[in-house]
Structure 1
Amino acid sequence: MALSALVLCSRALLKIGAQPVASLDEGTAEAEVAANLYPAIRDALLSAHPWSFATGQMALPRLVAVPYADYAHAYQLPADFLRILSAGGAGAGRGIDYRIHEHRLHTDAAAVTLTYLFRPDESAFPAFFANALVARLAAEFCIPLTESGSRAEMLQRTAEHETRQARLIDSQQQTVRAIEDFPLISARGRAWPPAAAPRPASPRANSATSCWAGAICAPSRTARAACATCSSSPPAA
């Protein structure tokens, strides 16, 4: 069966022991809860991670109206936009300064390529994301429909586990990006800590003499003073 909002909500309802719904508009308590909570829960989970199946790129159309301050150009964001990941000039996925304001992107760049998260159709959800979303829906549907706090806590832990698993699987869909422009990388070739400058020789050390036991004694010691090396008096002269 192809995934849809109705199918996902029905699976979540079954997880909490409720009856599945035939339509989100049928007027039952289950349908009312699902219809009201589903859109926000779906968008929140989609926005929480740069999912590979929900990541897109496009060249943004530049608007005639310009920002009031700070930037020279304004660009219209796509209708299915959820969250920006990066922005670059023509043919580049990142590298420009920008801000998001009133569903527009402001920048000084003459052209913008946007990398962003969008809202895909439910039929495009991979199995690992669908499982995480159903678990999250069940946790959110539980209190309004069952009023069981203990069951809701258990479902919340299950949802967190499913979300971690989904992120782990999704992170393997692309080559790991190397860390760039990090201070520790530029410092790798330098010795740390820096080599200390040699200490100047002490004037007292230059005037020290060797005692009868072969130790270096300060010049203030007398021939009959106790030797610091063996704590015994040197032989009489």
Structure 2
Amino acid sequence: MAVSEVKICNLALRKLGARLIESLSDSSQEAVTCKLFYEQVRDAVLREHPWNFAAARTRLALLAEVPAFGYAHQYQLPVDCLHLRQLNSADDEFVVEGDRVLTDRDGASALYTRKITNPVLFDPSFVMAFSARLSAEMADDITGSSSKAREMWTLYLNAMQSARLADSAEGREDEILNDPWLEARGLYGTDSPVWRG
């Protein structure tokens, strides 16, 4: 069965021991809560890691208005940009302000995380992390249990760790090895069994 918004919501609801839904337009508390959280949680999880399936590259549109100070150029971010990863090279300095990026780089191109709304395009490990985060966000509303919410947050952190490792095996190893999120959890570093110095 293809991945869908309803399937992802039902994965989250199953973790909470709640009733499953047939549609996000149902009038049940479960469907209303899923609909409330779904898009915000999806975008938050997309921003938390440089997912390979959500990577996009484009040339940025130079804006006529020059920044008042600090940088030489100002560019328009793509409308589907959730997180700007880097410009032409990893050494290019930039700052994002609203829907614009300021930099000294001439002819800037961007590598960014784009908003993916079609669940069929989601990586399977992302689906598991997303559904775990969704269950964590909905736990209080659905179960009324703060201990269940804490349990779901732990589940999410574990799912996210597994998803990051799986995603990093597809060509993003150098970036992942320097990820402070993983280093803080002792997963990488010179003392780690997976360190390849």
TM (norm. structure 2) is: 0.80
Of 118, 131, 134 in structure 2, the residue corresponding to residue 134 of structure 1 is: 131
For residues 22 and 117 of structure 1, the distance between their equivalents in structure 2, rounded to whole angstroms, comes to 30
SS of corresponding position for 2:24: coil
Runs of 4+ that moved beyond 4 A: none
For residues 91 and 154 of structure 2, the distance between their equivalents in structure 1, rounded to whole angstroms, comes to 38
Mean Cα deviation higher: 150-159 or 76-85: 150-159
Mean Cα deviation higher: 163-172 or 1-10: 1-10
> Residue in 1 aligned with 2:183?
none
Letter in 1 for 2:35: A
Letter in 2 for 1:54: A
Residue identity over aligned pairs, in percent, reads 33
> Residue in 2 aligned with 1:84?
84
For residues 36 and 160 of structure 1, the distance between their equivalents in structure 2, rounded to whole angstroms, comes to 22
Deviation at 1:60, TM superposition (A): 0.7
Letter in 2 for 1:102: G
For residues 105 and 147 of structure 2, the distance between their equivalents in structure 1, rounded to whole angstroms, comes to 53
Deviation at 1:111, TM superposition (A): 0.3
Deviation at 1:158, TM superposition (A): 1.6
Deviation at 1:68, TM superposition (A): 2.6
Please say if 1:160 is aligned against 2:188: no
1:28-47 correspondence runs (5 A)? 28-47=28-47
For residues 2 and 168 of structure 1, the distance between their equivalents in structure 2, rounded to whole angstroms, comes to 24
Deviation at 1:66, TM superposition (A): 2.5
> Residue in 2 aligned with 1:13?
13
For residues 101 and 135 of structure 2, the distance between their equivalents in structure 1, rounded to whole angstroms, comes to 36
C-alpha change, 1:99 and 1:155, in structure 2 (3 Å) is: closer
For residues 177 and 150 of structure 1, the distance between their equivalents in structure 2, rounded to whole angstroms, comes to 37
For residues 61 and 69 of structure 1, the distance between their equivalents in structure 2, rounded to whole angstroms, comes to 20
Deviation at 1:33, TM superposition (A): 0.9
Letter in 1 for 2:107: A
For residues 80 and 26 of structure 1, the distance between their equivalents in structure 2, rounded to whole angstroms, comes to 29
Deviation at 1:99, TM superposition (A): 1.6
Larger radius of gyration: 1
> Residue in 2 aligned with 1:173?
170
1:76-225 correspondence runs (5 A)? 76-88=76-88, 93-120=89-116, 121-174=118-171, 176-177=173-174
SS of corresponding position for 2:74: strand
Letter in 2 for 1:114: A
Deviation at 1:61, TM superposition (A): 1.3
Deviation at 1:175, TM superposition (A): 5.9
Mean Cα deviation higher: 145-154 or 110-119: 145-154
Q: Mind listing any 5+ residue stretches in structure 2 that lack a counterpart?
A: 178-197
Aligned residues between the structures: 175
SS of corresponding position for 2:34: helix
> What whole-Å deviation, never above 9, does each CA across 1:141-196 have from its counterpart, x for those lacking one?
221011122222222222211111111111111163399xxxxxxxxxxxxxxxxx
Deviation at 1:96, TM superposition (A): 2.5
- Structure with more relative contact order (C-alpha pairs < 8 Å, separation 6 or more): 2
TM (norm. structure 1) is: 0.68
